Each structure stands twice: as structure tokens, then as C-alpha cells.
């Protein structure tokens, strides 16, 4: 047995070294910029929540198999949050009296689920959560579909790289009851079967359908709905179509942003009508990237006020995989822009003064902590990604000068501290 503790993180969690953290920061900053242009404000909440808020409306798979739970010293049952939506609903209910609706919020929480680690799934993940509360208008759906297109474009993704597949639980219920002939008490089980349609074999689907109680004829009709949902919609009674929010959206220009897909079910119990998922189209990563939908009853767990909601969560694992698959990941930012190098011990104070000038100008600047040979320090600066070094030598400093060297071209010039920023900016322009 080793005398040392393991250097590996807990299974299903990840360490992010600076290069990877730089990439992640750039990716999520792009998403923040789009969200803020749409008027969404950032919030956050606790990682620990009462278990009951997940038992009430989250999927049974999460509640029964994936929750990390604990009991505190007061006997209260708590869980590490597996998702953010119940938390934000609680926050909206608790602050409804002081909020102006509609509320547009987003967050970037880390969440925990006890899953079997595999591609696209880990036990700790971060996700961008986006929610709008306080409007029943189908304009909410339209805004979200436009927002998603802009977020994906902000990441550099063209529309042929992904698909926005949308369904409506009200419309799906009508299709199952009117077209397939599923009894009302079997609708939920049949919807769950649809949720697995692309994940298991045809024989397994047929066996599951028989276990639910569907006849062979009903199973065939179910397959027809899957194959051509738009044609099946046309066979619905007008009253059933009129009750669907998605049908209203399909009558707007937003119809060109989405495609109807009855296989989109979503496992969470709190969704009430519109549901959607975004899928990667690349054959090597053909999977759901993120999804969400409308939940008009979730705030009702915490309040007697009716406050409809709509939202989604974009997980870091799947979106980073997507960007990697399509060659869209940004390059890590370098550690530093400029290194100020004193050539002698007594020049450390002047070097710090020079570094201060450049930092005040917005540049990332380091100085050595001990004296080394100038050539070695320049090599270290180049390896750190610096584009320039400022050399503080005794002869130059006696004349109140420093030397600026361009590490790409090798050119160098002398300048004063007063003109140091403008001299360095000829090498590193302001962004």
C-alpha cells in the first residue's frame, strides 16, 4: 500500500488545469454575452437543497438512483443539487412580491448526479441554466428558439452542425390517444417508450409495447407517428391541435428554426407542454447536447401564485464535446502578455514600477522572483506565451530607460516609463 494519497479526482469529477480552464472560460463567456444581449441577468443559489424539491417533480431516475444525499445534524434530508430548475422556481416563489415579470434569469451552477461515468456523462458537471418566468405567451417559445440559434452561432456553430427538435406534451398526448388509440392511463408509459425509441432495438421496442398493453396494430401506428409526425398532426381533430402551444409556434416565422419530432419527451415530470432538445448532427457524436421546455406548475410547489416558466440547461460536457467534434474549441489564452526582467537584484524595484505601468494599462504582466541569466528568463517568457519582454538593465536605468523586445521579430527599442505602454502596444495592440 502506498504511503501517499491518490492524486486522482473522485471518479466522475474532473480537474481543470489552466489551459483547459482558459478554453472553458472563453466558451462560456461567449454564451454569457448572447444571454445578456437578450436581457437575461445572472443569479446563483445553494448547492444544498431539501430532498423534497426533487422528489416532487424531478425524474424518478434522478431521485431513486442519482441523488447525492445527506442528513445534517438537525435531521434534515438534503441533496447536492442534480439540476437547477427546482432551485430557481423556489427562488422565484420566495421573491415574487418584489420581482417585475417577466423575469429573465440565467446561472452557471455545478450539479451532481451519481451516474456511471462515460462519454457525455460525469458525476459533477456545470451547466448554463436559462429561465423565463411570468408569461404564458407563445412568444416565450419563439424567443427561446431564436436565443438558442444565437447562442450556437456565438460558439461558431453553423446550422448544419446541429438540429433543434421540438415537441409538445399536449400534442403528443393527443397523437397517442387519437391516432394510436392509447388509453389515457397508458399515455405516460407509451411516452417513455418513445423516449427510448432511438436507443434500443425494434424487437425490444415491440416487447415493451406489448408489456404496456399495446396491440400490434397500435405499435405499427406508433411507428407511423414517429416516421412522419407532421402527417399525423394533420389527422388530429382541430380541437386537439388548437390546444397545442407548438401548433401556434409553427404558425409563426419561428417554424423555420425548429423541426417537430414526437420522440422528444424529456424525462422530468415538471414539463407541461413544449419540450425540445438540441442534437449534434456529426455521425461520431450524434447525441442530445441539451434541452428544456415549459413548466407552468413548478412554482406552485412553493406558492399559491401561478407563475409559468420556460427554460433549459446546457451542460458543459456535451457542449465541449460538440465544439471539439466540429473543431470549434478556442485556443487557450497565454499565461502572460509581457515579462519585465531586471538583470540585477537592485533593479527589482524599478522592474515592479515598469510592471505596474503595464498592468494599469490592462496587460497581463509578470516579473521574476529571483535573478537568473537574461537568456534563460527570455526563454521562460517565450514559453509562457509572452509576446514582449521589458528588460531593466543598469546602464539603461541610469538614464531612466528600459528596453522593449518583440519576442516574435526579435526587434527591440529603448523607451521611458512614461512611454512604455505605447511602446509595448506597438507589439500587443489593445483588443
User: 342 with 369: CB under 8 angstroms?
Assistant: no
Which backbone phi and psi does 352 adopt, to 5 degrees?
-65, -35
Which backbone phi and psi does 191 adopt, to 5 degrees?
-60, -40
Residue 127, marked binder: yes
User: 344 with 394: CB under 8 angstroms?
Assistant: yes
Task: Compute the CA torsion angle 200, 264, 62, 6 (nearest 10 deg).
Answer: 70
The total number of residues written for the chain in this structure: 431
DSSP letter at 331 equals P
Say which residue the cell 514559453 belongs to: 383
Residue 270, marked binder: yes
C-alpha cell at 83: 439540476
Q: How far does Cα 42 stand from its chain's mean position? A: 13
Residue 131, marked binder: yes
C-alpha cell at 324: 471539439
Identify the bridge partners of residue 106 per DSSP, sorted by sequence position. 42, 130
Which backbone phi and psi does 301 adopt, to 5 degrees?
-70, -25
Signed CA dihedral, 255, 260, 276, 95: sign only:
positive
Residue 85, marked binder: yes
In whole angstroms, give the CA distance from residue 30 to residue 17: 20
User: 293 with 245: CB under 8 angstroms?
Assistant: no
Residue 403, marked binder: no
Identify the bridge partners of residue 131 per DSSP, sorted by sequence position. 105, 311
Residue 83, marked binder: yes
Residue 41, marked binder: no
Say which residue the cell 509578470 belongs to: 366
Q: Which residues belong to the annotated binding site?
A: 83-85, 113, 127, 131, 266, 270-271
Q: Which residues belong to the annotated binding site for L-histidine?
A: 83-85, 113, 127, 131, 266, 270-271
Amino acid at each position: 500500500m502506498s504511503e501517499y494519497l491518490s492524486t486522482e479526482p473522485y471518479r466522475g469529477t474532473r480537474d481543470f488545469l489552466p489551459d483547459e480552464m482558459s478554453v472553458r472560460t472563453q466558451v462560456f463567456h461567449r454564451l454569457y454575452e448572447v444571454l445578456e444581449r437578450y436581457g437575461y441577468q445572472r443569479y446563483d443559489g445553494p448547492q444544498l437543497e431539501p430532498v423534497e424539491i426533487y422528489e416532487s417533480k424531478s425524474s424518478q431516475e434522478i431521485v431513486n438512483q442519482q441523488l447525492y444525499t445527506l442528513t445534517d445534524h438537525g435531521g434534515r434530508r438534503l441533496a447536492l443539487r442534480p439540476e437547477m430548475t427546482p432551485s430557481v422556481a423556489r427562488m422565484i416563489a420566495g421573491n415574487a412580491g418584489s420581482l417585475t415579470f417577466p423575469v429573465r434569469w440565467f446561472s452557471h451552477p455545478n450539479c451532481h448526479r451519481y451516474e456511471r461515468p462515460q462519454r457525455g456523462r460525469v458525476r459533477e458537471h456545470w451547466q448554463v441554466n436559462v429561465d423565463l418566468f411570468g408569461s404564458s405567451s407563445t412568444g416565450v417559445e419563439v424567443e427561446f428558439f431564436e436565443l438558442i440559434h444565437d447562442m450556437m452561432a456565438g460558439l461558431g456553430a453553423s446550422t448544419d452542425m446541429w438540429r433543434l427538435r421540438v415537441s409538445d406534451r399536449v400534442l403528443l398526448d393527443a397523437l397517442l390517444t387519437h391516432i394510436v388509440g392509447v388509453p389515457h392511463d397508458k399515455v405516460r408509459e407509451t411516452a417513455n417508450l418513445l423516449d427510448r425509441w432511438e436507443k434500443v432495438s425494434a424487437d425490444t421496442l415491440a416487447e415493451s409495447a406489448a408489456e404496456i398493453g399495446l396491440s400490434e396494430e397500435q405499435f405499427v401506428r406508433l411507428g407511423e407517428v414517429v416516421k412522419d409526425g407532421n402527417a399525423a398532426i394533420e389527422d388530429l381533430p382541430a380541437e386537439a391541435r388548437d390546444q397545442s402551444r407548438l401548433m401556434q409556434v409553427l404558425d409563426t416565422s419561428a417554424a423555420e428554426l425548429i423541426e417537430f419530432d414526437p420522440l422528444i419527451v424529456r424525462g422530468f415530470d415538471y414539463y407541461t407542454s413544449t419540450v425540445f432538445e438540441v442534437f449534434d448532427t456529426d455521425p461520431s457524436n450524434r447525441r442530445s447536447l441539451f434541452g428544456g421546455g415549459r413548466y407552468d406548475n413548478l412554482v406552485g410547489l412553493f406558492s399559491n401564485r401561478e407563475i409559468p416558466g420556460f427554460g433549459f440547461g446546457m451542460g458543459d460536457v456535451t457542449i465541449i464535446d460538440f465544439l471539439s467534434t466540429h473543431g470549434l474549441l478556442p485556443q487557450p489564452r497565454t499565461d502572460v502578455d509581457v515579462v519585465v526582467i531586471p538583470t540585477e537584484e537592485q533593479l527589482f524595484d524599478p522592474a515592479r514600477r515598469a510592471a505596474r505601468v503595464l498592468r494599469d494599462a490592462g496587460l497581463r504582466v509578470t516579473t521574476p522572483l529571483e535573478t537568473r541569466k537574461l537568456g534563460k528568463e527570455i526563454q521562460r517568457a517565450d514559453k509562457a506565451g509572452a509576446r514582449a519582454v521589458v528588460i531593466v538593465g543598469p546602464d539603461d536605468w541610469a538614464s531612466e530607460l528600459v528596453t522593449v523586445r518583440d519576442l516574435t521579430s526579435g526587434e527591440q527599442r529603448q523607451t521611458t516609463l512614461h512611454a512604455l505602454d505605447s511602446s509595448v502596444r506597438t507589439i500587443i495592440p489593445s483588443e
